[in-house]
Copies of this chain bind each other. A is one copy, B any other.
Amino acid sequence: MELFILTIDYAGTFVFAISGALAGMKQKFDVFGVFILGLTTAIGGGTLRDLLIGSTPVGWMQNTIYVYIVLGAVVFTYLFRNHFRKLRRSMFLFDTIGIALYTILGLKKALSFGLSPEICVMLGVVSATFGGVIRDVLSGTAPLIFRKEIYASACLAGGVLFLLTDQWLGEVAGMTVAIIAVFLIRFFAVRNQWSLSFQQGD
């Protein structure tokens, strides 16, 4: 289980960093800017969660591997910058498993600080999604996830599901169920172009 979590965590960091690096290259940022955008996208959500609950120094600073994964992702993005259309499916896969996992890991960390379930679910969603918000603010665009097909909402559903099931099913099964749920919700949302818009018909 530990190994499974680590694998997803690292793969998720890599994919999130790629999405940040791509956004930075699109904005014609320089090497430093692209790296910072990759880094903030990858670790921004967890950083905000850690700041809000007061868990400092924030998580990624305690293990340099995250910085090296981001560095690797930036180099990878540069080398394969013309091939990302083909990689879209793999990226969608890791991104979706990544947000599912980050939701649950964030939620569990918040629970360990004695916060109420509602707040913990929110912190799970923050962990999974605010890296992307920071990426968009730093590249000067309104945050995509505030507009996009079901994304944060899938995390929310997964977080609630985990809270409801982990006491019956045990942690490992609860986590698996929640991750599969996030994946399925997001998969069908993207395929069927579901959205949660307030305005119908425009």
Contact = CB atoms under 8 A, between A and B. Distances in A.
Given A27-B146, A29-B146, A146-B27, A198 B57 contact: no
A143 interface: yes
Nearest to A155: B32
B147 A33 contact: yes
A152 B29 CA distance: 13
Nearest to A114: B57
A36 B146 contact: yes
Given A27-B142, A47-B52, A61-B119, 19 more contacts: A25-B198, A25-B199, A27-B146, A28-B147, A30-B198, A31-B197, A32-B153, A32-B196, A34-B146, A51-B52, A51-B56, A52-B58, A53-B57, A54-B58, A57-B113, A57-B115, A64-B119, A67-B119, A140-B141
